[in-house]
Structure 1
Amino acid sequence: MTQLTSLSRRHFLAGIGASALTMPTLTVPVYDALGQPISSQSGQDKKIGIALVGLGSYSKNQLAPALQQTQYCRLAGIVTGTSAKASEWMQKYNIPQANVYDYKTFDRIIDNPDIDVVYVVLPNSMHAEYVIRAAQAGKHVICEKPMAITEKDCQAMIDACKKANKQLAVGYRLHYEPFTQEVMRLGQQKVFGPVKFVEASDAFRIGDPTQWRMKKSMAGGGALMDVGIYAIQGARYVTGEEPVSVTAQFSPKTEPQKFKDVEETIFWQFRFPSGAVSNSTSSYTAGVERLYASCEKGWFELSPAFGYGPLKGRTSKGPIEMPTVNHQAAHMDGVCKDLLAGKALPNHITGEEGKRDVRLLQAIYQAAETGRSIKLA
Structure 2
Amino acid sequence: MFQVTPTPGLSAGLDQAALGAADASRRQFLHSAGRGLLATAVAGALPLAAHAADAAADATFTPPTGPLDIKLPPLEASTDPKASPFPNPDAPDQRVGFALVGLGHLTLGEILPAFGQCKHAKPVALVSGDADKMAKAAQQYGIKASSCYSYQTYDQLKNNPEVQVIYIVLPNSMHHEFTIRGAQAGKHILCEKPMADSAKQCEEMIAACNKAGKKLMIAYRIQYEPLNRAAMKLVRDKAYGTPKLIQMMNCQNEAHDQQWRHKKALAGGGSLPDVGLYCLNTTRFLLGEEPTEVSAQLYSTPGDDRFREIEENVSFTLRFPSGVISQCMCGYGSFNGKSYAVHAETGTIKMDPAFTYQGLKQELVHAPGGKQVVEQPSNPHKQQFALEMDHMAECVRGNKTPYTPGEEGLQDQRIMEAIYQSAKENRPVKLPAVSKLDAFRGTPPTEEMA
| Structures share fold, TM-score greater than 0.5 | yes
Secondary structure of the corresponding residue to residue 423 of structure 2: helix
Alignment of 1:109-148 (within 5 A): 109-148=157-196
Secondary structure of the corresponding residue to residue 282 of structure 1: strand
Q: Aligned pair 1:358/2:407, yes or no?
A: no
Alignment of 1:217-256 (within 5 A): 217-256=265-304
Deviation at 1:289, TM superposition (A): 0.8
The CA deviation string for residues 287-324 of structure 1, in whole angstroms up to 9 with x for no partner, is 22111010112111100001102210011142223411
- Asked if structure 2 preserves the Cα contact closer than 8 Å seen for 1:234 and 1:291, the reply is no
The CA deviation string for residues 237-287 of structure 1, in whole angstroms up to 9 with x for no partner, is 222211100100112525433311111111000110011101111101112
Secondary structure of the corresponding residue to residue 207 of structure 1: coil
* Inter-CA distance 309–23: structure 2 relative to 1 (3 Å threshold): closer
Q: Aligned pair 1:21/2:87, yes or no?
A: yes
**Structure 1 stretches of 4+ moved >3 Å:** none
- Asked if structure 2 preserves the Cα contact closer than 8 Å seen for 1:23 and 1:45, the reply is no
Q: 2:426 aligns with which of 350, 371, 376?
A: 371
Q: Paired residues, what number?
A: 340
Deviation at 1:139, TM superposition (A): 0.3
What is the match of residue 337 of structure 1? 394
Deviation at 1:201, TM superposition (A): 1.3
What is the match of residue 11 of structure 2? none
- Aligned Cα RMSD in Å? 1.5
* Inter-CA distance 147–293: structure 2 relative to 1 (3 Å threshold): same
- Asked if structure 2 preserves the Cα contact closer than 8 Å seen for 1:19 and 1:71, the reply is no
The CA deviation string for residues 26-48 of structure 1, in whole angstroms up to 9 with x for no partner, is xxxxxxxxxxxxxxxxx884011
- Provide the rounded CA distance (Å) in 1 between the counterparts of 2:306 and 2:124: 39
- Asked if structure 1 preserves the Cα contact closer than 8 Å seen for 2:206 and 2:407, the reply is yes
- Provide the rounded CA distance (Å) in 1 between the counterparts of 2:283 and 2:226: 17
What is the match of residue 8 of structure 1? none
Q: 1:324 aligns with which of 374, 378, 381?
A: 381
* Inter-CA distance 21–258: structure 2 relative to 1 (3 Å threshold): closer
Deviation at 1:191, TM superposition (A): 1.2
Deviation at 1:95, TM superposition (A): 1.1
- Asked if structure 2 preserves the Cα contact closer than 8 Å seen for 1:174 and 1:331, the reply is no
Q: 1:196 aligns with which of 223, 244, 259?
A: 244
Please tell me the residue identity of whatever aligns with 1:358: Q
- Provide the rounded CA distance (Å) in 1 between the counterparts of 2:357 and 2:291: 26
Please tell me the residue identity of whatever aligns with 1:354: G
- Asked if structure 1 preserves the Cα contact closer than 8 Å seen for 2:98 and 2:165, the reply is yes
Please tell me the residue identity of whatever aligns with 1:21: P
- Provide the rounded CA distance (Å) in 1 between the counterparts of 2:303 and 2:234: 40
Q: Aligned pair 1:156/2:204, yes or no?
A: yes
Deviation at 1:90, TM superposition (A): 2.1
Secondary structure of the corresponding residue to residue 117 of structure 2: coil
- Provide the rounded CA distance (Å) in 1 between the counterparts of 2:93 and 2:282: 36
Q: Aligned pair 1:213/2:261, yes or no?
A: yes
- Asked if structure 2 preserves the Cα contact closer than 8 Å seen for 1:76 and 1:115, the reply is yes
Please tell me the residue identity of whatever aligns with 2:412: D
What is the match of residue 136 of structure 2? 88
Q: Which has the bigger relative contact order, CA under 8 A and spacing at least 6?
A: 1
- Provide the rounded CA distance (Å) in 2 between the counterparts of 1:364 and 1:309: 29
Deviation at 1:187, TM superposition (A): 1.0
- Asked if structure 1 preserves the Cα contact closer than 8 Å seen for 2:341 and 2:350, the reply is yes
Deviation at 1:186, TM superposition (A): 1.0
- Asked if structure 2 preserves the Cα contact closer than 8 Å seen for 1:187 and 1:240, the reply is no
- Provide the rounded CA distance (Å) in 2 between the counterparts of 1:71 and 1:189: 30
- Provide the rounded CA distance (Å) in 1 between the counterparts of 2:423 and 2:310: 13
Bigger Rg, structure 1 or 2: 2
Deviation at 1:192, TM superposition (A): 0.9
- Asked if structure 1 preserves the Cα contact closer than 8 Å seen for 2:223 and 2:282, the reply is no
What is the match of residue 404 of structure 2? 349
Which deviates further from its counterpart, 326-335 or 135-144? Answer: 326-335
Secondary structure of the corresponding residue to residue 258 of structure 1: helix
- Provide the rounded CA distance (Å) in 2 between the counterparts of 1:250 and 1:276: 23
- Provide the rounded CA distance (Å) in 2 between the counterparts of 1:92 and 1:19: 29
* Inter-CA distance 87–322: structure 2 relative to 1 (3 Å threshold): closer
- Provide the rounded CA distance (Å) in 2 between the counterparts of 1:255 and 1:197: 35
Deviation at 1:68, TM superposition (A): 2.1
Q: 1:71 aligns with which of 114, 119, 122?
A: 119
- Asked if structure 2 preserves the Cα contact closer than 8 Å seen for 1:169 and 1:351, the reply is yes
- Asked if structure 2 preserves the Cα contact closer than 8 Å seen for 1:54 and 1:120, the reply is yes
Which deviates further from its counterpart, 246-255 or 164-173? Answer: 246-255
Deviation at 1:209, TM superposition (A): 2.8
- Return the TM-score normalized by structure 1: 0.87
Deviation at 1:369, TM superposition (A): 1.0
